[in-house]
Amino acid sequence: MEYLGYFLSIIIGLSLGLIGGGGSILAVPILVYLFKIHPEQATSYSLFIVGITAMFGSYSHYKLGNLKIKAALIFALPSVVSLLFVRDFILPKIPSIVFTLNDFSVTKNLMIMVVFAFLMIAASLSMIRESIPKERVKRDDSLRIAIIGLLVGFITGFLGAGGGFLIIPALLFFGNLPMKQAIGTSLLIIFINSLIGFGGDVLNGSEINYNLLFTISSIALLGMFIGTYLSKKIDGEKLKPAFGWFVLVMGIYVIIKEFFIK
């Protein structure tokens, strides 16, 4: 199963390079089901894998002139605050057994995976349907960008997901950025959020298998370079629906796996 995990790790980077998001949605299920990593620990691994991949991707987009630093900072600053709050104060306080209903116990691990599955389904639907109007809102709404940044920080903190499916629409609609600039700026935001979150986990004593982490990250980086190269030739928006269907199937699988397959 690990070989399949290594192969799918390419898709993490590929999707980040092509459409600026989606890769982190796959990271946690790959880590949990194929590499047998504890769900909460997998969120830490995901932060590093997605963060380091997004770092190289954002640099590539910087060279292409697709980064908007001001919009990235407006989004990232409140996002980092909420992310660290979740990982330092909320996540550690959740008990291993959240509640019990008759003979069925909802564990912390189950809750993380089920919430993640619903996030995957929500993200997939946003990718499947047409999300960009022909005429974007012609305004710079920094307050709304900051508020959405705060929300993405909570998601990133709890699930280890970069939140690109929320970041890109926010930059398009409220930051008034063209698609390619929204993708590049999204990668910078994901990089800032993810690596700060991972750094906080390391300082708090999280156990990390660095050999496995660096191997998966290297493969994801390969996918990122391929995706960034292809983004010069392929419109990522045309690939979004297909990737969305793939994520939807994965989200449904996670729910089935957690409740019906043991």
Q: Return the ∠ at Cα 122 (arms to 254 and 161), rounded to 5°.
A: 70
pLDDT at 135: 47
pLDDT at 214: 93
Mean pLDDT in consecutive groups of 10 residues from the start of the chain, 262 residues: 85 75 75 88 87 84 85 90 88 86 83 84 76 51 85 81 72 78 85 87 87 92 83 70 81 86 68
pLDDT at 125: 82
Residue 81: CA atoms inside 13 Å, Cβ hemisphere, count?
11
Distance of CA 62 to the CA centre of its chain: 20
- Residue 177 contacts residue 71 (beta carbons within 8 Å): yes
Quickly tell me which residue has 């306080």 as its tokens. Answer: 93
pLDDT at 112: 83
Number of neighbours of residue 65 by Cβ within 10 angstroms: 10
As beta bridge partners, residue 104 has 101
Number of neighbours of residue 63 by Cβ within 10 angstroms: 10
